[in-house]
Chain A
């Protein structure tokens, strides 16, 4: 294929060749190309099919606003990405890109039949078509919509890339590396202030990269650019971030920047992150985002080969690529004339400049004549022709009274259009800064700002190179001067700049019926001018409603190309001024951003904190199966060869009941409560009475919320008159400490007591079973373990296996038990020593499942499993734990509310199924009469349910309305297989007299 690259033209003249494929066909570009420029260099304009009508589409722009040229790329190993803008995709050797939205091929696409069926797919098509019958929704409509929706195919493999993130703080963040941004960064950077300059392009320079006419400070534009970039790079206080898009501007000058680190590399270093999300807090912000060119609205304006004039100028001057051999121009703005001049000087034939304005600056006409470019001033374009690429345009004269004359055909292979320029106010709008409508210029410009941010240059509506440099330098100076730096706004002298003027036409005049032509406003979402007028006719008045009805501005480009044209047409149809119709809200991110960038490091092992106990490694080596409990992972059970969970748990349970088990209880929350008012504080926080608890003794503590419902529980040891060792549930540790601190700081600041989390200071090994004392007796120093000296619910400090311990005699199994607290770094060594020494008793490590079964056999509740935030102590059968003579404690007053005292509250009971083999489902509902009509009245639910090896049958705990009065009654539990009968019992199934505790 003949190359459209012009030797010696552009910035990539010395660049190395790069090979790539598009739809499998090999092509050659050069280093520094975008995929779009490389395709154009090979004469390829057709790059995709549109979303709804599957119309052939070409490359419209040269920047991140591109609505048409979306491609899929595949870097292998799951690195598939759909909807990449070809204009932003930097070429690398081996790039394989494919077009989207076409089948079987881009050139012959079956879906294009939609284009002929426009009348079926007009605005509001979904709302009008998919209405009834109801049964069609799930079977016909939804599959159809799902199939039709979306652009490229969604990736299916796990993304293998890694992503990074970084916080940054600076005096000034400059968004945009064009002339205004560079001037701002230079003025601020030279003052010594810390400056970050970011730009979404691979190369800093913005519009200067595409501009070859003007000179700055006695140098060429590019000469000045090179010097300025070098000067900035030499300043240690300036950080330059090319390939970095400012995606969002949040409160208090917090901005998100997405930096592309490796996508442009042919060889990516192992483990290198693909993108980095910068989270920048800037004292001042200068927004120098520039402007986006507006398309013109006329029939056939979406045909491949029709593109923005400024884009053609960028492809020519920056990339050295001619977008055609014979190029026509249609415009209402002077800037398109410059594109024509550049092309003509580069040897490209310019078929004509068609300018829809009545008059054009004389200087431009003279330059066109000098270059022998035909001009048609006061003419319009009414159609284009060509199957997959524009081949001709139909142009017509427009009389002074607006009458459109007869059309003529003008042959061309590219049509450049310009409807003027729209300031990029996106980031400014993120801050909720107000916008001002400029009726004469048909544009919104920034108004009142709510952040310490300043829009400059074209994005503030001040166009032109000289204005950008002046604006930027002054904003850079002012920003850092406000922070106390001494800065100067360097004056830059611009030569040979053409002053540019233009007018805005919402649609080009036409001699055809405007309600029948295909003149596109939103290219990506296939919204035409007539769709917007139809929406207005059907009663929509707000632009937000018109947007949703027609989908204009809802594409991935968020209306960057279409918003102003759509607004102008809607305003005209409504006969209202544009501000009264409104502008849709710009929201972050500015351009589509990968999920990976947002996730950053938080994936895989770093997705969330996984807390592990000091004994975790031992359990892992033993082949334990783990379960997550809040952020912790805990050993669930320890299967031996050939065992399933049921067998392992049955074996572990039997070992504890018959001899000895060991359990890692390190995750239990622990809080050390110290101070002269410690007992008083305990009295207020817990339902129990603490004053008389002697040092060296423990008590079960129950904590309520202000509402009287159970929040947490645990065994609490009194180590000294002024020191308590509190334990909490594993999941409740942080919550309980926060609640205690809250009361202490806000309600009782007079109490002299302090709280310290000691959860991770101690590793906790629970030894449970009749042989527990025999095992530790020879290993413990300084504590008399005799039952009389160290009874159930005692605590003492001493040593075990040579290290300090806080030894608790407590039981969560109903067996003789100890909980051995040792400093965490000794946890594993003590565990291993006990495991070794316990071999003579057949010591058996057990996990959380066995712990649950053993405690359920004894009717010990687990807060959060057997309670659900609506159970009082009495509901749970824990009325005995409430100190009734205490003057107050958190929740006390709520316990006497009338509805807390009614007899039919849900109460915790035991359930024994009629069939002892049946293990009920936890969460199963309970009814009294299985034959009552639907919907049945549910009187409670199963909270805990297990197979009990000790009892040789199933057991369950449940909450049942008025349950304690129903002892012996039969209830019914519907489950997926059938309805099960069960008898209401007490909650203690095993050793009801607690004889084993004091064995």
Chain B
């Protein structure tokens, strides 16, 4: 999905792997915080109730990004079912399909944090596993999700993905050279 990019970047000793994530369906869900209880039925489980927190059900993941904002990741075949479920939701809300707006990049390995530190200013060590946030990667806005201690997922608007990929390539080279 990233034009001109190889499918993955690998560092010799296995300390780092950077690859494009499998395609997923993505939605931006906007809704008053008081209405999250009703939205749980449409989502298929409780929505996270703290900014940065995530919840999963039926293969769907919801990440709370703001007081009234969630990003939902779901299997690609789930678009119609999820849209229909929310269409029936009786409270005011906005569900917008942004499946194609973004590209997922998985950064994994013992050096994952080190690679990300080339372009992310906040303290990644302090980021809990199973949380996510909107942040800056150099000049590109991204979502950063810590899926495991040594695995992160970047969600980035597609036209910014080349820039993110290029920086990760540069960081990979430093890690490969152990410099």
Q: Report A's interface with B, CB cutoff 8 A.
A: 162, 164-169, 261-262, 269, 271-273, 276, 279, 281, 601-602, 605-606, 608-614, 616-617, 631-632, 672, 674-676, 752-754, 756-762, 823-826
Contacts and interface: CB of A to CB of B under 8 A. Distances in A.
A672 B159 contact: no
A752 B125 CA distance: 38
Contacts of A611: 159-160
Contacts of B138: 601-602, 606
Contacts of B10: none
Contacts of A614: 158
B7 to A, nearest CB: 16
Nearest to A261: B179
A916 B4 CA distance: 46
A613 B94 CA distance: 26
A742 to B, nearest CB: 15
A609 B97 contact: no
A609 B94 contact: no
A760 B159 contact: yes
B170 A609 contact: no
Nearest to A162: B170
A263 to B, nearest CB: 12
A674 B100 contact: no
Contacts of A608: 139
Given A269-B177, A752-B92, A756-B30, 4 more contacts: A672-B96, A674-B95, A761-B96, A826-B100
B134 interface: no
B30 A606 contact: no
A676 B159 contact: no
Contacts of B68: 754
Nearest to B123: A169
A672 B95 CA distance: 10
Contact of B30 (A612, A754, A823, A826): A754
Contacts of A758: 96, 98, 101
Nearest to A271: B173
- DSSP majority for the B interface? mixed
A761 B98 contact: yes
A602 B1 CA distance: 23
Given A674-B30, A675-B92, A824-B158, A272 B179 contact: yes
A164 to B, nearest CB: 6
A613 B157 CA distance: 11
A760 B121 contact: no
A271 B166 CA distance: 14
Interface residues of B, number: 45
Contacts of A612: 3, 159, 162
Contacts of A276: 174, 179
Contacts of B121: 167, 279
B160 A676 contact: no
Contact of B28 (A167, A169, A756): A756
Interface string B83-102: 00000000011111111111
A617 B166 contact: no
Contacts of A166: 114, 117-118
B167 interface: yes
Nearest to A761: B101
A610 B166 CA distance: 11
Contacts of B97: 761
Contact of A610 (B114, B157, B163): B163
28 contacts: A166-B114, A166-B118, A167-B119, A167-B120, A169-B123, A262-B179, A272-B174, A273-B179, A276-B174, A279-B121, A601-B170, A608-B139, A610-B162, A610-B163, A617-B3, A631-B159, A674-B94, A675-B92, A675-B93, A675-B94, A753-B94, A754-B30, A754-B94, A756-B28, A756-B30, A760-B157, A823-B100, A824-B100
Q: Which of A631, A759, A824 neighbours the largest number of chain B CB atoms within 10 Å of its CB?
A: A824
Contact of A825 (B1, B92, B95): B1
Contacts of B117: 166-168
B140 interface: yes
A631 B97 CA distance: 24
A824 B102 CA distance: 9
B20 to A, nearest CB: 12
Contacts of A262: 179
A783 to B, nearest CB: 19
B96 A756 contact: yes
A64 B87 CA distance: 68
Contacts of B167: 601, 606
Interface in B143-179: 157-160, 162-163, 166-167, 170-171, 173-174, 177, 179
A330 B3 CA distance: 68
Given A617-B3, A760-B100, A761-B100, A676 B92 contact: yes
Contacts of B119: 167, 601
A863 to B, nearest CB: 21
Contacts of A606: 138, 163, 166-167, 170
B166 A605 contact: yes
Q: Which of B101, B121, B159 has the most CB of A within 10 A?
A: B159
A601 B118 contact: yes
B170 A164 contact: yes
A514 to B, nearest CB: 54
B3, B96, B119, B162: residue with the most chain A Cβ atoms closer than 10 Å: B96
A782 B102 CA distance: 28
A825 B94 contact: no
A513 B91 CA distance: 94
Given A261-B179, A606-B167, A675-B94, A165 B118 contact: yes
A823 B79 CA distance: 13
Contacts of B125: 169
A609 B99 CA distance: 22
B38 to A, nearest CB: 15
Contacts of A757: 101
Shortest Cβ-Cβ A-B pairs, 3 listed:
A754-B30, A611-B159, A674-B94
A629 to B, nearest CB: 12
A675 B92 CA distance: 6
B65 to A, nearest CB: 12
A164 B118 contact: yes
Contacts of B3: 612, 616-617
A594 B19 CA distance: 33
Given A758-B101, A761-B101, A273 B139 contact: no
A279 B170 CA distance: 17
Nearest to A671: B96
A826 B158 CA distance: 13
Contacts of A760: 100-102, 157-159
Contacts of B162: 610, 612
A823 B99 contact: yes
A829 to B, nearest CB: 13
A272 B171 CA distance: 10
**Looking at A269, A676, A761, which has the most chain B CB atoms within 10 Å of its CB?**
A761
A731 to B, nearest CB: 14
Nearest to A670: B101
A650 B146 CA distance: 53
Contacts of A281: 123
Contacts of A676: 92
A601 B167 CA distance: 7
Contact of A273 (B93, B98, B157, B174): B174
B100 A609 contact: no
B121 to A, nearest CB: 5
A561 B155 CA distance: 52
Contacts of A601: 118-119, 138, 166-167, 170
Nearest to A734: B141
Nearest to B97: A761
A756 B118 contact: no
Nearest to B173: A271
A164 B174 contact: yes
A632 B100 CA distance: 18
